[in-house]
Amino acid sequence: MMENALKLLKTYFGYQSFKEGQEQIIENILAGRDTLGIMPTGGGKSLCYQIPALIFEGTTLVISPLISLMKDQIDTLLNLGVAASFINSSLTPRQVQERIAQAGEGRFKLLYIAPERLESENFRGLLQSLSINLIAIDEAHCVSQWGHDFRPSYRHIGQFIQEIPERPVITAFTATATEEVKEDIIKLLGLKNEKVFVTGFDRDNLSFEVRKGENKRDFLLDYLQENREESGIIYVATRKEADNLFHFLEKKGFQVGKYHAGMKDRERAAAQDTFLFDEVRVMIATNAFGMGIDKSNVRFVIHYNMPKNMESYYQEAGRAGRDGAPGECILLFCPQDIIIQKFLIEETIYATARKTNEYQKLQFMADYCHTDRCLRKYILEYFGERVSYENCDHCGNCTQETEIVDITIEAQKIFSCMRRMKERFGLKMVASVLKGSKIVKIKKFGFDRLSTYGLMAEKTEKEILDLLNLLVAEGYIHLTEGQYPVAKLCPEAAPVLRGEQQVFRKTPVRQEKDISAAH
Ligand code: ADP
């Protein structure tokens, strides 16, 4: 069967080989098993159901929310000689009936429908007359309230599938990989004995780097100066920040554009065009910028502020290097960014469970900024891909010259201080106690009488906080969700406290040198 699939790939679609993951997904579908494919945009999911559609008898029903893309897809298929059609709100009731009748005669290998159609019992009944052997559900995360674009009409898909007398094979696709969304898709669409494939998230032409403790504006000035000829995007957290940075860079003589939701439609469209046509090379933007932007020669994406979660980060950073040539993704981190994001979560009207979920995702994002391990591996594992290497050798953490430092003693001091404080305070308070700070709050709780008070007085409070954050990222300390997270010890901390296990950190050699030069 797979030989047949490869033949179709070549003859119909004109490609010589499968993209990563396509083969396994197609094989699973052809074996008659339900499938959930988690692939990033551009990963090549369409072929994963189009090829089985050509192999299976009967019609494949494709449920897709993007009406504008539907027509393009069908035109492409028709050009390739594949019989396909669509039903959506652009058709009259009469046309709908005609298409269904044609489909009933087996005229189409693929029939695309918009999910809203399934809200009509009448329409669902009409579909029952077709011989449907495969259903492909695009943008499957729309079924989940945890996803970023929940669509109530998706809730009808599960019911529709149940109503079909002879159950077809079901395959769903999404680019969102969080656990809750995945579970919702499986449950609400009614997948059975499904196999989940997470694939294609790696973008090996992109390099990743997190920079901490930089003067962000100085960094930008240097970077833009060095990369004057290149096109890039600078993402900021708020509109105000976009305005401020725009004026700052313009004053410094850089030709920059800006884009945020506070601008008029006309202004935004104009800004977008100047960027797309390379009249302006650098765009300063909030997350409002980028949807549907497919500019191939973006060479860098700098995050001036940390975004709210890894999904947003990877999507925005992924706008670099679409042409396959190298792209740099740099995140300028400072702790204030976390406070901004918490504030933005608090401002939402989400219910408590949703907020907790957002805080958890924010913590993964913060951990990305604090980890000293391979950033690429961190990203891919976050999205659920299995990674066999420890170092990709081309992210900031892998390429930076580092030395391994034993921080077991520091970790022990921190853990025992937290224990003595009964694990009821946030990181900042723990750092203040270890520093031996004289703030009122410490006196009030009597922490100045703890044996761990001032135990790390030789370090700055920021250094202690960096250590604490690293121990969070490494899974020794857990932060409760919420605006004021409390630091708790994880079971992993116990063997360290007992002296049975060591803790190491990678320290950049560059920084060490800087410090010794300053002395
Ligand atoms: P998605 O729907 O996952 O965003 P598409 O299915 O539109 O992605 O595919 C993205 C691009 O990759 C398309 O231009 C498609 O023609 C191309 N593509 C898909 N499969 C292959 C393949 N096996 N070899 C080369 N190009 C492919």
The beta strands (E) that lie in 318-471 are given as 327-333, 402-406
Place of tokens 């042409």: 323
Residue whose CA lies nearest to ligand 1 atom number 16: 44
**Ligand 1 binding pocket mutation candidate from 10, 17, 19 (most atoms within 8 A of CB):** 19
Distance of alpha carbon 319 from alpha carbon 308, whole angstroms = 17
Residue whose CA lies nearest to ligand 1 atom number 26: 15
Backbone CA torsion sign across 155, 160, 162, 163: positive
Indicate if ligand 1 lies below 6 Å from the C-beta of 42: yes
- Residue 499 CA to ligand 1 center (angstroms) comes to 53
Backbone CA torsion sign across 56, 57, 61, 62: positive
Burial of 477: CB neighbours in 10 Å, binned 0-12, 13-18, 19+: buried
- Residue 13 CA to ligand 1 center (angstroms) comes to 10
Helix (H) or strand (E) holding 62: strand 59-63
β pairing state of 195-198 and 84-87: unpaired
Indicate if ligand 1 lies below 6 Å from the C-beta of 69: no
- Residue 482 CA to ligand 1 center (angstroms) comes to 40
The beta strands (E) that lie in 421-500 are given as 477-479, 487-489
Distance of alpha carbon 205 from alpha carbon 322, whole angstroms = 9
Indicate if ligand 1 lies below 6 Å from the C-beta of 44: yes
**Ligand 1 binding pocket mutation candidate from 7, 15, 322 (most atoms within 8 A of CB):** 15
- Residue 39 CA to ligand 1 center (angstroms) comes to 11
Indicate if ligand 1 lies below 6 Å from the C-beta of 174: no
Q: Region of 18 please: left (phi>0), alpha (psi -120 to 50) or beta.
A: beta
Place of tokens 């860079």: 249
pLDDT profile of the chain (519 residues), mean per 10: 93 93 96 95 90 96 86 91 92 92 95 94 91 96 84 94 94 88 95 94 94 90 95 96 97 95 94 93 92 82 96 92 93 90 88 88 95 95 92 92 90 97 96 96 95 96 92 91 90 96 83 42
**Ligand 1 binding pocket mutation candidate from 18, 46, 294 (most atoms within 8 A of CB):** 46
Indicate if ligand 1 lies below 6 Å from the C-beta of 10: no
Q: Which pLDDT belongs to residue 482?
A: 81
b/e for 77-95, b at 16 or more Cβ within 10 A?
beeeebbbbbbbeeeeeee
Indicate if ligand 1 lies below 6 Å from the C-beta of 47: yes
Residue among 142, 191, 185 nearest 167 (CA):
191
Q: Which atom of ligand 1 is nearest to 200's Cα? A: 3
Indicate if ligand 1 lies below 6 Å from the C-beta of 324: no
Q: Which pLDDT belongs to residue 348?
A: 86
Q: Which pLDDT belongs to residue 503?
A: 94
Single pTM value for the model: 0.79
Indicate if ligand 1 lies below 6 Å from the C-beta of 46: yes
Q: Which pLDDT belongs to residue 245?
A: 97
- Residue 62 CA to ligand 1 center (angstroms) comes to 17
CB 209 within 8 A of CB 329: yes
Residue among 418, 451, 360, 416 nearest 178 (CA):
360
Q: Which atom of ligand 1 is nearest to 22's Cα? A: 23
Q: Which pLDDT belongs to residue 413?
A: 97
> How high is the ipTM of this complex?
0.98
Q: Which pLDDT belongs to residue 518?
A: 40
Q: Which pLDDT belongs to residue 412?
A: 97
Q: Which pLDDT belongs to residue 512?
A: 43
Indicate if ligand 1 lies below 6 Å from the C-beta of 322: no
User: How far apart, in Å, are the Cα atoms of 71 and each of 76, 305, 407, 430?
Assistant: 9, 38, 59, 58
